[in-house]
Structure formats: structure tokens, C-alpha cells
Amino acid sequence: MPRYEITIEKDACDGIFACLTRDPRFVEGEDDLATIDPGADPVYDCEGEVADTERQVVATFDDDRIDEARQAAAACPTDAIVVEEVGE
């Protein structure tokens, strides 16, 4: 199973939230921008590491849901989300 990282650049996010409809781990943050909450998925018991800084949100997962994350990134009209494999 691939280990992958999801990065949301806060400067590029404009709060359209198209990502939320593609992957339930994406949620609206307190700053009215997209963020990631592994526990927000009502179907899957999901675990991941999330670092939320002033400039970006970086989440790392090692599950089989990379395609959902890629769909969320592709739906972002401002290209604020990057998904990349970082190992196995």
C-alpha cells in the first residue's frame, strides 16, 4: 500500500470546497479554508498524521484511498491541493 502526502496551500485555497465532495477527509477549517480531518469520514475508520501551519496543511496516510485524495485535488479549481506518493 502506498504512503502518500496531501498538501493544501492555504494561500491558493479560496474556500470553494469542491474537494469536500470527493473525499470526506477534507473539511472546512476554522479559517474558512479547506483542511483535513482523518476522523471526519463517517464510513471508514481513518488514521493519518496532519500538520496544520499558517501556510499549509500537510497530511500523511498509508491506506488505499490515494485515488479519493487525487480526485479531491483534481476538483480544486485553484490547484491548491497536491497529492504525492512518499513511499510504501
The tens-digit pLDDT sequence of the chain (88 residues) is 789 999 999 999 999 999 999 999 999 999 999 999 999 988 888 889 999 999 999 999 999 999 999 999 999 999 999 999 998 7
Q: Which of 70, 53, 80, 78 is nearest to 61 (CA)?
A: 70
**Domain-by-domain residue ranges, the chain?**
3-87
Is 3-87 a domain of CATH 1.10.10.10? no
pLDDT score for 55: 96
Q: Which is nearest to 26 in space by CA: 15, 16, 38?
A: 38
Report which residue type is found at 13. C
Q: Where are the beta strands (DSSP E) in 1-88?
A: 3-9, 26-28, 34-36, 49-52, 56-61, 81-87
- Residue 81 identity: I
The pTM assigned to this predicted structure is 0.93
| Measured distance CA(30)–CA(64) in Å, rounded | 28
